[in-house]
Amino acid sequence: MSTALCPGSFDPPTNGHIDVIERCLDVFERVVVGVIHNPSKSPLFSAEERVGLLEDLLTDHPRVEVGSFEGLLVDYAKTVDARVIVKGLRAVTDFDYEFQMAQMNYELANMDTMFVATSPVYSYLSSSLVKEVARLGGNVDSLVPPLVAQRLQEKFYG
Ligand code: PNS
């Protein structure tokens, strides 16, 4: 069975993330969504919260599994038996860093990376901007699933 690993911070998951994951399902039989848990960073949503959000958002997709990892991505890829890492590319500005990581992961473990060009409607979308807009009271309803919009509202406005 061919498995793709979609890794990321997902702080929080956006419509762009869901789009990439759903498009992976057209190509791969199994998709593992890997949420990074980096103890030296302070995300808005804990790793447990991000995993819970993604599980709820992807509940209609039985071929998707959600997990979290610490340390090297290639080590996690091996534990979930992933053949390939899949990342979304929004614009050329993403390319340099993503290409560097892809080459490093190949060097470390012969792990291939494939890129999905995100839908143009999501090309400007990032979790950081979503957080900023939500924190400043802007409407994020068209950028994130309703559950995420609700959780952002609770985080910032209680
Ligand atoms: O959503 P993001 O922030 O673009 O995700 C970045 C992520 C989690 C894919 C990246 O930070 C990562 O792979 N971290 C694991 C650490 C690692 O393996 N580093 C060495 C290879 S580049």
- Ligand 1 pocket check for 105: Cβ under 6 Å: yes
> 158 CA to middle of ligand 1, Å?
31
3-state secondary structure of 110: coil
Is the C-beta atom of 7 inside 6 A of ligand 1? yes
Local confidence pLDDT in tens for the 158 residues of the chain: 799 999 999 999 999 999 999 999 999 999 999 999 998 999 999 999 999 999 999 999 999 999 999 999 999 999 999 999 999 999 888 999 999 999 999 999 999 999 999 999 999 999 999 999 999 999 999 999 999 999 999 999 98
Contact (CB, 8 A) for 137 and 9:
no
Cis peptide before 12 (omega within 30 of 0): yes
CB atoms within 10 A of CB 153: 13
Report CA dihedral (84, 22, 138, 93) to the nearest 10 degrees: 40
The answer, as to whether pTM is greater than 0.85, is yes
Catalytic residues: 17, 41, 90, 127
Sheet containing 112-117, strands listed edge to edge, beginning at the edge strand earlier in sequence: 64-69, 30-36, 3-8, 84-89, 112-117
Ligand 1 atom, smallest distance to 9 CA: 1
**Which ligand 1 atom is the nearest neighbour of the CA of 108?**
21
| CA pseudo-torsion sign 31, 121, 144, 43 | positive
